[in-house]
A and B are shown apart, each in its own frame.
Chain A
């Protein structure tokens, strides 16, 4: 386990209790997930494809409705909120999609301006531009500011997606497979970027990944999902030395 030099508070910022979610009558994906994430912590979620990792974070931002259970974020149960209240809470959360989900009819600049202009109406055009440039510099992509998303490589798209997430200064960031489909060097760069963002802004992160290098570099704690429940949790080192053969297979 690498030594993390950021502060983790004991207070949980995300609390999931007995979360159930099924699709159709015979596809019961989540069967009672109970999980806490502390403020300032980087939590890694591992599990086979289709085990419901993405569904958990989609439930947390309200993209999917939970069937049963409670989902507390910032001490508020999001299952009980209406649309307006949920949107207020969403401004404090960021979400990096697996395929970056950049708006492909807009340039990189417009992609970043889009959420900012809507939520910070008091900013002048010059201030918006400054913010956009700053956040692009922080992900190291200022030269791509006037490009269209289709002109960018996979790694660049991830960075722009991350910049768009960061521009609203979220306190929690959900990463859905941030390094999938990238070469090892770019993956490592993205992992380092995640870590540096976390140090700089002291955000809390939930990271879904299959990339063990990313998990090792960024994770404070790892949880493994199996058959719709949390199978095991611990630090990277603890799980790496686990006697459980199934868990061990992730680290091979």
Chain B
């Protein structure tokens, strides 16, 4: 029990120090712009198909599932607005973030973990290159920027999926559909939901990097780093989501 508690506290301390060193060095020269752009491409652009497909399916399924209930209450006209609202406020951010935790966080964890185990990170350090700046900062910044963009992309595709879902049972004009959505959305629906996705992105990158960077020596630890990165990132996404929703609730009561 004591050793378990000791582990928990040590880990918490290490994560805090890791985060602190990120903020300490992020504004210092030199900026690895080229590597940052490369990571944006690898982590963001490459996740587009996956996020697109899930976004489309989410919109379609949400529409088809909610339709019977809405019809029962004679509120079919509200369907586009309701689907768009649930997509933008909750479903798209959380599902996209979870997919990114699975795809990106584990990828970073495994990549940095194997670099650590095969001494590539040490090699960088002895050639007087700061591996933290080159490897960690670029990745964390890339996910912080890319995850919100992916969420916006998932929102759009999801709404398109919803349109197709609507057209399975009835004939709805696209402009009518879109204007119904825009009527039901307010600025306050979009902003908090978008702001929280930056935190999701930050956590996905940071946790992946932390797990990879602190992998102990041995190949088994690479798999462990990837695995625990997904678990920790997914859990922290839910916790941050809960906090964000509570906070929005208090602020805009």
Contacts and interface: CB of A to CB of B under 8 A. Distances in A.
Interface stretch (B77-85, B115-123, B194-202): B115-123
A168 B120 contact: no
A171 B4 CA distance: 47
A105 B119 CA distance: 14
Contacts of A114: 127, 129
A101 interface: yes
B129 A115 contact: yes
Contacts of A101: 118-120, 122-123
B128 interface: yes
Contacts of B126: 61-63, 90, 93-95
B127 A168 contact: yes
B208 to A, nearest CB: 16
Interface residues of A, number: 26
Contacts of B124: 103
A200 interface: no
Interface residues of B, number: 14
Chain B contact residues: helix, strand, loop or mixed: helix
A68 B136 CA distance: 31
Interface of A: 58, 61-63, 83, 87-88, 90-91, 93-95, 97-99, 101-105, 114-115, 118-119, 164, 168
Given A99-B119, A103-B120, 10 more contacts: A90-B125, A90-B126, A90-B128, A95-B127, A97-B122, A98-B119, A102-B120, A103-B115, A105-B111, A164-B123
Interface of B: 111, 115, 118-120, 122-130
21 contacts: A58-B122, A63-B122, A63-B125, A87-B128, A90-B127, A91-B127, A93-B126, A95-B126, A97-B123, A101-B118, A101-B122, A102-B120, A103-B120, A103-B124, A104-B120, A114-B127, A114-B129, A115-B127, A115-B129, A118-B129, A168-B127
